[in-house]
Amino acid sequence: MSVIEVSQLTKVFRIPKKEPGLGGAVKGLFRPRFEAKTAVDHIDFKMDSGEIVGYIGVNGAGKSTTIKMLTGVLLPTSGSARILGRDPHRQRVANAREIGVVFGQRTQLWWDLALIESLNLIARIYEVPPARYRQMLERFSETLDLGDLLKVPVRNMSLGQKMRAELAAALIHEPKVVYLDEPTIGLDLIVKERIREFIRSQCAGTGMTVLLTTHDLGDIEELCQRVLIIDAGRILFDGPISAIRDRFGKYREIAFETVAPAAGLSLKLPRGTEVVEASEHRLRVRFDRTRATASQVASQAMNQTEVLDFSLSEPDLASIVKQIYNGALVK
Amino acid sequence: MIRRLFREPPKYLAILGMVPKVFMAYQLWFWIGLVLSTIAMAILYFFWRAVYGGTQAIAGLTLDTTLTYILLAQVFRPLTDVDLIYEFGYNLREGGIVHHLLRPLNFQGMFYAQSLGNLATQMVLQIPMALVATFVFGLRWPADPVVWGAFLVSAIMGYTALFFFVYSVACLTFYTTEVWGLGVLFFGMSLFLSGGLVPLAMMPGWLRTVVLSIPFAQALAVPINILTGITPLAQVPQVWLSQLVWVVSLWLASNLVFRVALRKVTVQGG
């Protein structure tokens, strides 16, 4: 049985439509007009126990709305979500026991109190047995480097410290399903690395299922075997990262350093190759690797002009995703 | 079911126990509050002495009874202090409401536990005020334990009724998201309508009707009347019964209001 089963899940918001000016404001008071905005549009996906899935998309694509529906705090307009076989909205309390949530922009900790107070309370609310709690606390102190932080009030923490504290609070009761909504937002590389390492170590062998939204593709590359790409409420892609590369990463680039000024050159290159940049002594061409090989492009170019140096680059995940966001897929 | 009955209360007690800790984070407020409360008490004390002048009794109350009432009302003022409006508004604006909904607990129960924790903390912090009332203004405390018992039951029921009332009103912030005005309005109303400044007996009939038809007075004037003996013990069961009706009906109302308000959050996304 899948841990998360989403079918035809849809959320339509009614947004009040405000006309500008005082007249518009008064009009809105008496006859409010609404606009329907579809935030999530009939999406389907399943997740199995132990999977870490990256959920990516531009701002406003519908990521957070999906997560809110999966946690049960938002009622879907239509369609259904099942978490461990439960309806998360109707069985909100039962569902809440099994899940852990981090919203990168919000806190679940008691602002004025030392972190340990929040953790103690959370452990009691989720009925973590005391012995197990001590064990978890010890483990977290090590993997998240919480040691000294436990006695620090949350309001005095830096962003990176706060995020480590949030993760500890969300996972101390060993939830079966975890939603991480931008857990690395605004963090430096070292903290990011530590957090990724922590998520990985928590998942290893526990069967914890993680849905992770992020704008940092490093998170995805290091943690997820599978990616969901959402745009305008629809799922554009669902599959392993390698498939993204195969499917969307068919262009490669070669940059030549030429003896003659690059702008003056007009080279005959294999079909499907285009010049991306030609400035001073630098010539950059892009080719479709399904239609030409790198050696064909390079040798043809070198036959026609003297080349001092050249380099081949494979597109990184970020540029592929940017392409997808820009609608490469629609074509 | 029985197992749950034993497993659930400790969770809410744990929430209750957080309140004094949060409060201790702001020690300065304690001292400022103490000074302000002493000034308020002095003003009320001398005001009522001046009102009586040479008069023996007003509306059946002697100067002594009135002063005892006013001083006790000042000491027990935290009974009128259900601070949910700012709490809800803040939570809604900062998005903390989502985290509250994500807890495997009853939403109202969580806030009730927190409010009781607040009441207990505030009452402990009122001890200096009780000393000021006793040694500076000569408050004579009732000695009969039966009266104290009757008072406590009435105070808890009154506070609970007020909690449900404020909870219902606080649910309005789900729609308005504006809390400052509502909060100030409530603070002003609770001060006067709870009967903390003027004994109910002295209010004109129509005003007393108004005051008794909203639950502020249930939390302060009604229990303090029992404590000062203005309401004789013989009438206490009747008072309890009417308070019980308040509690049950406001509990039902608050749940109804919350269910509707929650739809706003869960359907419209807050």
Whether the CB of A15 is below 8 Å from some CB of chain B: the reply is no
Return the pLDDT at A331: 44
Give the pLDDT of residue A286: 83
* Best residue of A74, A78, A86 to probe chain B, by most B CBs closer than 10 Å: A74
Report whether pLDDT(A323) > 80.
no
The span from the CA of A8 to the CA of A76, in Å, is 10
pLDDT at A80: 93
Average pLDDT (A294-298) is: 84
Please name the member of B21, B96, B101 whose beta carbon is closest to the beta carbon of A92.
B101
Written as six digits, the tokens of A276 are 């991306």
Walk along chain B (270 residues) and give the pLDDT tens digit of each residue. 566 777 888 889 888 888 888 877 777 778 888 889 899 999 999 999 999 988 888 888 999 999 999 999 999 999 998 888 888 887 777 777 888 889 999 999 999 999 999 999 999 989 999 999 999 999 999 999 999 999 999 999 999 999 999 999 988 888 776 778 888 888 888 888 999 899 988 889 999 999 988 899 999 999 999 999 999 999 999 999 999 999 999 999 999 999 888 877 776 664
pLDDT given at position B224: 96
Higher-confidence residue: B24 or A179? Answer: A179
Is the complex ipTM more than 0.85? no
Taking residues A253-261, report their average pLDDT.
Answer: 84
**What local confidence, expressed as pLDDT, does residue B269 receive?**
62
**Partners of residue A96 in chain B, C-beta under 8 Å:** 102-104
CB contact (8 A) between residue B98 and residue A73: yes
Secondary-structure class of domain A4-246 per CATH: alpha beta
Distance from C-alpha of B61 to C-alpha of A294, rounded to nearest angstrom: 102
The pLDDT of residue B268 is 63
pLDDT tens-digit map of A52-105? 999 998 888 899 899 999 999 888 999 999 999 999 998 988 999 999 999 877
Q: Round the average pLDDT of chain A to a whole number and report it.
A: 86
CATH of range A250-314; options 3.30.70, 2.40.128, 3.40.50, 1.10.287 = 3.30.70
For residue A123, what is the nearest residue in chain B, using CA coordinates? Answer: B11
Helical residues (DSSP H) of chain B, grouped into ranges: 2-24, 27-52, 63-75, 84-94, 96-101, 107-125, 127-135, 145-170, 173-176, 180-193, 205-212, 216-219, 221-228, 236-268
pLDDT tens, B142-197? 999 999 999 999 999 999 999 999 999 988 888 776 778 888 888 888 888 999 89
Identify which of A75, A96, A153 has the shortest CB distance to residue B102: A96
Q: Residue range A133-152: average pLDDT?
A: 91
For chain B, the structural domain boundaries read 2-268
Sign of CA dihedral B232, B238, B240, B243: negative
Nearest CB partner across the interface for B22, out of A103, A110, A125: A110
Task: Please tell me which residue of chain B has the smallest CA distance to A117.
Answer: B18
Does any CB of chain B come closer than 8 Å to the CB of residue A175?
no
Contacts of A109 in chain B (CB under 8 A): none
Q: Do A103 and B98 touch (CB under 8 A)?
A: yes
Cα distance between residue B45 and residue B37, in whole Å: 12
Contact A93 B94 (CB under 8 A): no
SS3 A209: strand
Q: Å from B94 to nearest chain A CA?
A: 7
Residues 115-154 of chain A whose Cβ lies under 8 A from any Cβ of chain B: 117, 120-121, 124-127, 153
Contacts of A116 in chain B (CB under 8 A): none
The candidate with the shortest Cα–Cα distance to A58, out of A232, A248, A238, is A232
Mean pLDDT within A116-137: 94
Query: Would the pLDDT of A210 be above 80?
Result: yes
Specify the pLDDT at position A328: 53
- Token readout for B45 is 């004390």
Residues of A in contact with B106 (CB under 8 A): 93
Task: Give the per-residue pLDDT at B136.
Answer: 93
Per the listing, tokens 């629609």 go with: A330
| Cβ-Cβ contacts under 8 Å for A65 (sequence gap 6 or more) | A11, A39, A40, A74, B269
Residue A16 DSSP SS3: strand
CB contact under 8 A, A72 and B21: no
pLDDT at A307: 85
Look at the block and give the residue holding tokens 């369609």.
Answer: A79
Q: Where are the domains of chain A?
A: 4-246, 250-314
Contact B106 A89 (CB under 8 A): no
Tell me whether residues A106 and B266 touch, CB distance under 8 A.
no
